[in-house]
């Protein structure tokens, strides 16, 4: 069946559309700040008794935040101490999460239903414990949160996004029943056009084709037009949290950073690769784009299917449950244990994403290697890395030399100091931008997924990953990281201390405001 002719993608129009959307949101944010400033001045001038009461509340709030273990308390403490009245009103509008309670509760309920569809696989969990008793706590932690351990799953690792391109398209073309895609960024280019052509063809053949995208991540796509055009072929599309809905709260920052493709519930992809040309090095943006992904085939795909279906129900506001239609046929696979998982702000304060990283660092005996495009840490995560290094574990972190956001890079560099001082080794990838989010430890376990070692991924983004133990892919991830390290420059503590004073000052200021990044 031929693919119908679709509207030609206009890059200038897409850029103008994205700039208009971004400008609209920024304008509303500025108006909010102006309104809050005026409100604070009016209250201070004409209702000084009430303003004095607000200042007392601000002081009490500072004490509450100081005693809290929340990740962004430092930012609000500074604002409240510097501008007590204005700061309290600002916190009322932006700092409180009261507006998101119902949304978080809804998603938790949806995920609880999804959890009931999954097997408990207690035998697999016990078998993993007998093989790697030191790592069983990580698997138990995830299993407790509804993410079972699987065997009978084949895993293929792609050490760079380019390697994934051909296999990804071939699997899409081989689909017989359904194709589900969930991505933070989709941008029209050569690769997306190839993917879209296959999706349209498959939808016309009667397959269930669904697409979830993050509205902010895909800012430069006209989502409404895209939904209309793809809908003509039977493709269903929803966007996560359209940006105009959340401008009145810092929960505007809550984004869906998950990257999942599920084909017929038997094959799945995840990792750092979004559906845009730079991720497969078809275009050059920040030097060589270093990314990674994994392909799963077998039992563990069932968890990724459920993660997608839960987010689909959340975004579409549909209670339809046809999950039984997508239950995979179990078969044989590679040796080892595979455990897909997800997390997000609705899981706070016990977010599995942060928890599994912290536990993996704490359980490392010989080494732990981490690749991340951003390094924005809270004190708890920083302490875990330092304690591991001081106990003799070889802790290595790879970040990019060529950055995509200068202000995030500045905060990343500011975080080097205490880590370097206490024995953590940091390397910068010289050829370009490393977007890869891999962790490997002790030749026993690894994670590949969407999780950056930063405030956003660990606390306010919806993320997903796969924990591997006793799998061949563990050695492949380690080999890839060591190969990347050959293209890196190690940052020493002496060199870090000699950076320019202006840079130090800028980093100190930006670090306070890192929750906004």
Residue 268 belongs to some domain of the structure: yes
Mean pLDDT, residues 96-101 taken together? 51
Domain CATH code at residue 268 = 3.30.870.10
- Residue 466 in any domain: the answer is yes
Q: Greater confidence, 503 or 171? A: 171
Residues 73 and 117 in one domain: no
Does the residue 4 lie in any domain?
A: no
On whether residue 108 sits in a domain, the answer given is: yes
Residues 109 and 72 in one domain: no
pLDDT category at 56 given cuts 50, 70, 90 is: low
Q: Mean pLDDT across the stretch 219-233?
A: 86
Residue 427 covered by a domain: yes
Separation CA 81–CA 44 (nearest Å): 17
Query: Among 273, 308, 335, where does a domain finish?
Result: 335
In 3D space, the residue among 388, 480, 412 whose CA is nearest the CA of residue 440 turns out to be 480
CA dist 377 and 278 (Å) reads 27
Q: Are residues 465 and 379 in the same domain?
A: yes
- Asked if 75 and 223 sit in the same domain, the reply is no
Q: Does one domain contain both 213 and 124?
A: yes
Do 30 and 86 lie in one domain? The reply is: yes
pLDDT of residue 263: 96
pLDDT higher than 90, residue 45: no
**Residue 2 lies inside a defined structural domain of this protein:** no
pLDDT digits (tens, 9 = 90+) for 288-345: 999 999 999 999 999 999 999 999 999 888 766 656 666 666 666 778 999 999 999 8
pLDDT score recorded for residue 224: 82
Q: How many domains does the chain have?
A: 3
Are residues 384 and 329 located together in one domain of the fold?
Answer: no
* Res 174: pLDDT: 97
Same domain, yes or no: 121 and 266: yes
Look up the domain containing 17 and give its range: 11-96
Strand, coil or helix: 368: strand
Question: CA nearest 238: which of 317, 340, 315?
Answer: 315
Q: Are residues 356 and 496 in the same domain?
A: yes
C-alpha–C-alpha distance, residues 321 and 318, integer Å = 9
The arithmetic mean of pLDDT across residues 178-187, rounded, is 95
Within-domain flag for 38: yes
What is the per-residue pLDDT for 81? 65
Residues 6+ apart with CB under 8 A from 338: 149, 150, 151, 153, 155, 296, 298, 299, 300, 466, 467, 468, 471
Token pair 């000699």 is found at 498
Q: Which of 16-20, 154-158, 183-187, 334-338 comes out lowest in average pLDDT? A: 16-20
| Shared-domain flag, residues 290 and 362 | no
C-beta neighbour count of 7 within 10 angstroms: 10
31 falls within a domain: yes
What are the helix (H) ranges across 145-189? Answer: 161-173
What pLDDT score was predicted for residue 510?
80
User: Looking at the predicted structure, is the pLDDT value of residue 1 above 50?
Assistant: no
Q: Which of 38-47, 124-133, 421-430 has the highest mean pLDDT?
A: 421-430
Report the chain's mean pLDDT, rounded to a whole number. Answer: 85
């Amino acid at each position: 069946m031929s693919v119908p002719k679709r509207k030609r993608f206009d890059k200038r129009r897409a850029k103008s559309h994205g700039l208009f959307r971004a400008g609209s949101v920024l304008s509303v944010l500025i108006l909010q700040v102006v309104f809050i400033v005026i409100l604070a001045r009016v209250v201070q001038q004409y209702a000084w008794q009430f303003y004095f009461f607000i200042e007392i509340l601000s002081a009490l709030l500072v004490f509450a935040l100081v005693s809290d273990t929340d990740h962004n308390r430092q930012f609000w403490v500074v604002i409240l101490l510097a501008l007590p009245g204005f700061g309290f009103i600002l916190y009322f509008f932006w700092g409180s999460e009261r507006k998101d309670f119902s949304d978080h509760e809804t998603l938790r309920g949806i995920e609880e239903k999804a959890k009931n569809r999954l097997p408990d696989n207690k035998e697999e969990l016990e078998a993993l414990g007998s093989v790697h008793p030191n790592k069983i706590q990580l698997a138990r932690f995830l299993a407790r949160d509804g993410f079972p351990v699987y065997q009978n799953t084949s895993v293929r690792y792609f050490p760079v996004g380019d390697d994934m391109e051909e296999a990804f398209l071939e699997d899409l073309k081989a689909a017989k029943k359904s194709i589900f895609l969930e991505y933070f960024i989709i941008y029209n280019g050569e690769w997306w056009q190839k993917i879209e052509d296959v999706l349209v063809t498959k939808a016309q053949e009667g397959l269930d084709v669904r697409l979830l995208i993050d509205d902010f991540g895909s800012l430069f796509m006209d989502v409404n037009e895209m939904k209309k055009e793809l809908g003509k072929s039977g493709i269903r599309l929803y966007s996560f949290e359209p940006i105009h809905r959340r401008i009145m709260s810092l929960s505007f920052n809550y984004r869906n950073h998950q990257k999942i493709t599920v084909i017929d519930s038997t094959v799945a992809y995840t990792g750092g690769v979004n559906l845009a040309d730079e991720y497969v090095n078809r275009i050059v943006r920040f030097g060589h784009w270093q990314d990674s992904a994994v392909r799963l085939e077998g039992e563990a795909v069932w968890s990724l299917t459920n993660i997608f279906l839960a987010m689909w129900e959340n975004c579409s506001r549909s209670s339809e449950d046809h999950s039984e239609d997508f239950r995979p046929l179990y078969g044989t696979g590679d040796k080892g244990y595979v455990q897909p998982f997800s997390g997000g702000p609705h899981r706070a304060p016990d977010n599995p994403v942060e928890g599994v990283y912290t536990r993996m660092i704490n359980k490392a005996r010989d080494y732990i290697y981490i690749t991340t495009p951003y390094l924005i840490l809270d004190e708890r995560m920083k302490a875990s890395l330092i304690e591991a290094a001081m106990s003799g574990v070889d802790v290595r972190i790879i970040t990019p030399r060529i950055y995509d956001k200068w202000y995030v890079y500045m905060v990343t560099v500011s975080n080097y100091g205490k880590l370097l001082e206490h024995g953590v080794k940091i390397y910068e990838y010289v050829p370009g931008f490393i977007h890869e989010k891999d962790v490997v430890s002790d030749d026993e376990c690894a994670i590949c997924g969407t999780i950056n070692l930063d405030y956003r991924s660990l606390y306010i983004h919806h993320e997903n990953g796969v924990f591997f133990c006793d799998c061949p892919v563990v050695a492949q991830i380690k080999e890839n990281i060591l190969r990347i390290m050959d293209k890196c420059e190690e940052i020493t503590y002496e060199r870090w201390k000699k950076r320019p004073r202006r840079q130090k000052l800028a980093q100190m200021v930006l670090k306070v405001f890192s929750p906004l990044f």
